[in-house]
Amino acid sequence: TKKYGRNNYTIYTEELDQKTTYKLTIEQDLKSASQNQEFVLHYQPITNLKTGELSAMEALVRWNHPELGIVPPDHFIPILEESGQIVSLGKWVLETACAQNKTWQDEGAPPFKICVNISPIQLQHPNFIPMVKSVLETTGLDAKWLELEVTESILIEDMKRLKECLTNLKELGLSMSIDDFGTGYTSLSYLQQFSFDRVKIDRSFIQGINTDSNSTAITSTIISLAHKLKMEVVAEGIEDETQLAYLQEENCDEGQGYYFSRPLPAELHAFPLSHNTAN
């Protein structure tokens, strides 16, 4: 009936309005978020699957919005990338994460790496390498405890420049990993030309372990090829014991996911942190 149709239309526009309002609020309020110190970092453990020991922590940014509450990075990173503001947020993230890792070490925690996500926009910025160098100096963190994560998408940009950039970064003494592996278009042989230390298998494959034969096959293929190329492998998004058992059987080096811990504020992690991975 006519009435039914009208109601439907009303509901539809209300939903659309809500979405638009949310987006506009975010775009507007992002401008003052840094200044108001509304960004926070949460940290998620990366566990050695052989020993159960903590091998690293990944820093993940959140926006603590005064009215909306915690806003996930997927909702605001793309906007900051578009405006270029990701460069200054990225610097804050790196500084805060390195300083936090130094604090953990000074407090006597067994040392582990801090992993920091780097946007392609940041990597392309001419001041990126001096910025990383100065952050290491001011925080006093030894570069061997820092790992930068970049996604596969950067590999299709200017190859020569990228190679140079990665070489210079490695000369600082830090390590590099390739994030969300398997979701882009590059092959592992292509990766070999760059000096990555680690490959992180995207969680979409891990979540298909034992339920989807393609995901299971892709996972074990990435692990064995990466090992042949002398890279370590981290599985992202491990949520249950079946996934963990399979990854251990396939000799995956490290794992991260809700099975071990959700990302948490620094003060909620107690050390030494280790998990029983025996089964």
Residues near ligand C2E (CB under 6 A): 44, 60-61, 72-74, 77, 90, 93, 117, 119, 179-180, 203, 236-239, 256-258, 263
CB of 229 to ligand C2E, least distance (A): 21
CB of 237 to ligand C2E, least distance (A): 4
Contact between residue 178 and residue 198 where contact means Cβ atoms under 8 Å apart: yes
Q: In the complex with Ca ion, which residue's Cβ is closer, 117 or 215?
A: 117
> DSSP letter string over 110-139?
PP-EEEEE--HHHHHSTTHHHHHHHHHHHH
Residue among 43, 107, 38, 106 nearest 265 (CA): 43
Q: In the complex with ligand C2E, which residue's Cβ is closer, 25 or 153?
A: 153
**Which partner in ligand C2E, Ca ion, none is near 263 (CB below 5 to 8 A by kind)?**
ligand C2E
Q: Which residue is nearest to ligand C2E (CB)?
A: 257
Return the number of other C-beta atoms located less than 10 Å from residue 271's C-beta. 12
Nearest-Å Rg of the Cα atoms of the chain is 21
**Which partner in ligand C2E, Ca ion, none is near 119 (CB below 5 to 8 A by kind)?**
ligand C2E
Contact footprint for Ca ion (CB under 5 A): 117, 149, 179-180, 236
Residue among 119, 122, 97, 88 nearest 40 (CA): 97
Question: Could you say which DSSP state residue 53 is in?
Answer: B
**Which partner in Ca ion, ligand C2E, none is near 45 (CB below 5 to 8 A by kind)?**
none
Q: In the complex with ligand C2E, which residue's Cβ is closer, 182 or 226?
A: 182
CB of 142 to ligand C2E, least distance (A): 21
Region at 108 (left for phi over 0; alpha for psi -120 to 50; beta for the rest):
left
